[in-house]
Amino acid sequence: MDQPIGVIDSGVGGLTVASELMRQLPKEKLIYLGDTLRCPYGPRPKEEVIQFTMEMVDFLLKKDIKLLVVACNTATAFTLELLQEKLAIPVIGVIQPGARAAIKMTQKMQIGVIGTEGTIASKAYPEALHSINSEIEVHDLACPLFVPMVERGVLNGPDAYSVIEDSLHSIKEKQQIDTLILGCTHYPLLKDTIQAVVGDAVHIISSGEETAREVSAIMGYHQTLYEGERIPMHEFYTTGSWEVFQQIANNWLNIPINIIENANIVID
C-alpha cells in the first residue's frame, strides 16, 4: 500500500522513533510533524495536550496516512485510547512497547522511569509495567529540564552533563535499579550522557526500536506494507523555527537537508 506512515511529536524527540522506522521499514514513506512551536508538552494541562495532538492528527490525516505513530510519551498517555477509538486507521503509542522492552531486560525487577511532568503524573508507565508483571517495582522521576535542552540542540558536553547529573540524583541513589526507561522520545538524544551519569550497570531502554517493530507487525497483519521497490522521499514538518530541527534531523537521521519540506507551517 503506497500511503505514508504518520508520526507526530511535541518537537524533535520523535525523530528517534522515525529513525528506527526508517531503519526497520526502509521502503515505507514517513510524514513527520513536530510541534516545536508549543513544545514542551510535559508541563501543559491534559486538555491542552489533547487539543494540540488532535490538531496535529488532523493535519496528517489530510496527507492520507495509513497508520499513525504518537511518538510523544505525554501525548500517548493522554490521547492514545481516544485516538484509537476515533480513527479508522491503526494508532500506536510508545509507552507499551517501551514497557515490554524494559521487562525483558530487567533482572532485579526494579525499573526506573524518567519523563516529562505530564507523563510521570499520568502514571502511564507504572500501569503499563504492572499490567504485564505486577511484581515490578517502579521508580519514576520527572525531568522537566531535558526537553528544552534538547530543543536548543544541547545534547552533550559539560552543561548537559551537569543538568542530567543534578536531575537524576535521586534516582541514581536507588542502587537496586538495573533498567531505566527513557519515557520521552527526546531523551534518547541524551542517551550517552544519561548512561555516563547512571553508570554502565544500568540498562537504558528507549522505545523507538520496539515501537518500530510493532508498526511492522501491525502493518503486516493488515497487509498494508509497501511491497514495491523504492527509496522513499520522507516529509518533515515543524510548527516553529526549522534551524535546530534541521540540525538535529541531519545529525540524528543522517539525511540530506533537502528532504525536510515546508518546515514553517502553523497549525490552526
Cβ neighbours of residue 105 closer than 8 Å, sequence gap 6 or more: 178, 179, 203, 205
Catalytic residue among 160, 184, 194, 253: 184
Burial of 26 by CB count in 10 Å (0-12 exposed, 13-18 middle, 19+ buried)? exposed
- What are the domain boundaries of the chain? 5-93+209-259, 95-207
135: amino acid identity, one letter: E
- Positions at the binding site for substrate: 9-10, 41-42, 73-74, 185-186
Q: Residues 51-107: pLDDT tens digits? A: 999 999 999 999 999 999 999 999 999 999 999 999 999 999 999 999 999 999 999
Q: What is the pTM of this model?
A: 0.88
Q: What class, spelled out in words, does domain 5-93+209-259 have in CATH? A: alpha beta
The residue among 49, 114, 39 whose CA lies nearest residue 77 is 49
Which pLDDT value is given to residue 193?
Answer: 95
Q: Which residues pair with 235 in a beta bridge?
A: 31
Quote the distance between the C-alpha of residue 72 and its chain's center: 5
39 is catalytic: no
Identical fold between 5-93+209-259 and 95-207: yes
Q: Phi and psi of 119, rounded to 5°? A: -65, -45
Which pLDDT value is given to residue 209?
Answer: 86
Cβ neighbours of residue 121 closer than 8 Å, sequence gap 6 or more: 142
CATH 3.40.50.2300 fits 95-207, yes or no: no
Catalytic residue among 67, 68, 69, 72: 72
Lowest mean pLDDT among 4-8, 37-41, 124-128, 241-245: 241-245
Q: Residues 107-146: pLDDT tens digits? A: 999 999 999 999 999 999 999 999 999 999 999 999 999 9
143 is catalytic: no
Please give the Cα distance from 43 to 77 (Å, whole number).
13
Q: Residues 136-172: pLDDT tens digits? A: 999 999 999 999 998 888 888 999 999 999 999 988 8
Q: What is the CB neighbour count within 10 angstroms for residue 59? A: 19
